Structure 1
């Protein structure tokens, strides 16, 4: 199997949306909205075109990763730019082969060369911890509403980049603007699939609920 990673091109958009939908269908929730999120992120001013990659197996797109700018806002309101990624997709038939790791590591290499300071994401620490991501609490970084979260993770790209930075992590508003009516209209253009609930979805909801309030400023 010949694996290649390259930047996504406009001609790939529909295929990547199909791959993303397939990769996430019934994973975190019944159905999926990640392909619609991807579609909207590309039109956002936070989208980083240079960090928009697809991974191919023998010339066929089997996954992708998309990055956008985000911010850490300190207690005085000063914002420091960081980056985040998602959706990260690998088709089910190609999962558990190290291809997600390969795609992330490629993106990290380019992001470092571009001079970005750090990556902040919401993800499963059991997976991302193996790639060098650490709890954002280590750097005194909370969710946008001031909570430490088990699933909020940080990866430092430039040495010492987060040593004197703390505050609230805020991603692009696009992540929080999924209109259900617009999603259903968009999704109607794809193959009809059955939605269902899974045990992993319940486990993921528990993971998301593992938050606790940060101590008040002294």
Structure 2
């Protein structure tokens, strides 16, 4: 399978294609709840949406992958909020996995996020996949979620020690 694809910002004309891509991609995911595509639409329609961080991978005019990073926060014990990003979802069509599309989407999303001044990004996912990008389990930082399993909640610091002194619950 050839690896010549581009990563670009999503357009409104792509929304239906991306909705279907997310639905199809998650059909083969080990962990899913079947509503990932609707979750993405909800994020896109929220005040936390960042258009520059809604990206697609395209090969020969076909959208083969998608990533979205949106605003979120950690509620700290004193009630203050640490503002950060949520990566959700990252989707690649099954036949285009293992050619670097997911990696390219992640790297470009993180690159843009850093240029925008963000210092970290959280996600829920398979540690075996996301560790390659520098993600670490959040409980190592004293950050958890009310109901999601700790072994799948991860964070990447773009700025060294960005999470020093940050503890609490991540909003996902």
Question: TM-score scaled to structure 1, two decimals?
Answer: 0.73
Q: 1:37-186 to 2 correspondence within 5 Å?
A: 37-144=39-146, 149-171=150-172
For residues 94 and 57 of structure 2, the distance between their equivalents in structure 1, rounded to whole angstroms, comes to: 14
Instruction: Give runs of ≥4 in structure 1 deviating > 3 Å.
Output: 28-31
Please say if residues 119 and 159 of structure 2, whose CA atoms lie closer than 8 Å, have aligned partners that are also in contact: yes
For residues 23 and 116 of structure 1, the distance between their equivalents in structure 2, rounded to whole angstroms, comes to: 28
For residues 123 and 131 of structure 2, the distance between their equivalents in structure 1, rounded to whole angstroms, comes to: 12
Shift of 1:114: 0.5
- Alpha-carbon displacement from aligned partner over 1:69-98 (angstroms, at most 9, x marks no partner): 111111111111010111111001001222
Structure of greater Rg: 1
Shift of 1:148: 7.4
Q: Which residue of 2 aligns with 1:213?
A: none
Alignment RMSD, CA only?
1.8
Please say if residues 26 and 32 of structure 2, whose CA atoms lie closer than 8 Å, have aligned partners that are also in contact: no
What is the aligned length? 170
Please say if residues 115 and 158 of structure 1, whose CA atoms lie closer than 8 Å, have aligned partners that are also in contact: no
SS state at 2:110 partner: helix
Shift of 1:163: 1.1
Q: Unpaired segments of 5 or more residues in structure 1?
A: 172-218
Please say if residues 123 and 152 of structure 1, whose CA atoms lie closer than 8 Å, have aligned partners that are also in contact: yes
Shift of 1:130: 1.6
SS state at 1:82 partner: strand
Please say if residues 118 and 157 of structure 1, whose CA atoms lie closer than 8 Å, have aligned partners that are also in contact: yes
Please say if residues 137 and 154 of structure 2, whose CA atoms lie closer than 8 Å, have aligned partners that are also in contact: yes
